[in-house]
Amino acid sequence: MITIALSKGRIFEETLPLLEEAGIRALEDPESSRKLILDTNRQDVRLIIVRASDVPTYVQYGAADLGVAGKDVLNEHGGEGLYQPLDLNIARCRMMVAVRNDFDYESAVRQGARLRVATKYVNAAREHFAEKGVHIDLIKLYGSMELAPLVGLSDVIVDLVSSGNTLRANDLKAVEHISDISSRLVVNQAALKLKRHDIQPMLDAFERALKQ
Ligand code: PRT
Ligand code: MG
C-alpha cells in the first residue's frame, strides 16, 4: 500500500493532474466527502487528507509514504526524515512582510525600532529579520495574520500573498519580499528504500507531467 498525504483546497486540486499522469484518480472529492482516507482507482494507492502544516509530520513518521507541502510549511517543519525530490511548481505565492498603509516601515527600520511581528511562519520571520539586523518580538499566530496590525497586536506581519486582494481589502501593503513559495513532493526516506519499486514510477510520472 502506498499512502499519499494531501491537504484540501489548492494543493489537492493542483496535485490531481499530476496524480492523473501517474494513473492515479481519487474516487471521492474531499470537499464534499467527510472521509479522511480516500480510495483511488488503484487498489494499492490511497490518499489521506490532513492539514497543510501536518503533511510533513505524517510523511516524516511514515504514516504516509509521500505528500505535497509548501516550502513555507517545510521551512517551519525543518524537513527531518524527508526526501524532497521535486519542486511541483504548484500553489505558488510569495512570502512577504506587510504593514498598515499608514505605517512607515522604512523609517522604523532606519531608526532601529524594535518591531512586533505577528506570523505563523516564525522560523522564516526570525531568519529574515536577523539577516537585516532588525530586532523583533515574535507573536505566533495560527491564521488571519492580516488582522494583527489592524487591532494593534503587531506592527508588522509575515504572511503569504498571491493575488494581493486580502492585503488590499484590509488596508495593508507589502513592504518586503522574503521568498517565492511553491509546493514540493516529499517522500519518507525509509519508504523510498523499502518501496522503491512502487514509488519510483510515481516520481518518474510526476517529473514527466512537470516537463509537459
Ligand atoms: O488553511 P489552513 O489553516 O488549514 O492551512 P493553510 O492556510 O496552510 O493551508 P492552505 O491549504 O490554505 O494552503 C496550503 C499551501 O498553499 C500553503 O502552505 C502555501 O504553500 C500555498 N499557498 C499559495 C497559500 C496561498 N497561495 C495563499 N494565498 N497559502 C495561503 N494563502 C493565504 C495567505 O495566508 C493569505 O491569508 O491566502 C491569503 C492571501 O491570498 P491573496 O490571494 O488575497 O493574496
Ligand atoms: Mg488557508
- The structure's pTM equals 0.96
Residue ranges of domains in the chain, CATH in brackets: 2-91+182-211 (3.40.190.10), 93-180 (3.40.190.10)
Q: What does each C-alpha distance from 68 to 18, 57, 149, 186 come to in angstroms? A: 11, 12, 31, 6
Set of cell numbers at residue 188: 519518507
The ligand that comes nearest to the alpha carbon of residue 8 is 1
The per-residue pLDDT for range 75-127, each reduced to its tens digit, is 999 999 999 999 999 999 999 999 999 999 999 999 999 999 999 999 999 99
Query: Residue 93 C-alpha to ligand 1 middle, in angstroms?
Result: 8
| pLDDT, position 98 | 98
The per-residue pLDDT for range 50-60, each reduced to its tens digit, is 999 999 999 99
Q: Inform me whether the pLDDT recorded for 132 exceeds 90.
A: yes
Query: Residue 198 C-alpha to ligand 2 middle, in angstroms?
Result: 32
Ligand 1 atom closest to 182 (CA): 20
Query: Residue 184 C-alpha to ligand 2 middle, in angstroms?
Result: 17
Mean pLDDT over each residue of the chain, to the nearest integer: 97
Query: Residue 142 C-alpha to ligand 2 middle, in angstroms?
Result: 10
Which residues, judged by CB distance below 6 Å to any ligand atom, belong to the binding site of ligand 1? 7, 9-11, 51-53, 70, 72-73, 91, 93, 143, 159-166, 181, 183
Ligand 1 atom closest to 8 (CA): 11
Q: Inform me whether the pLDDT recorded for 212 exceeds 90.
A: no
Of the pLDDT bands very low, low, confident and very high (cuts 50, 70, 90), residue 148 is very high
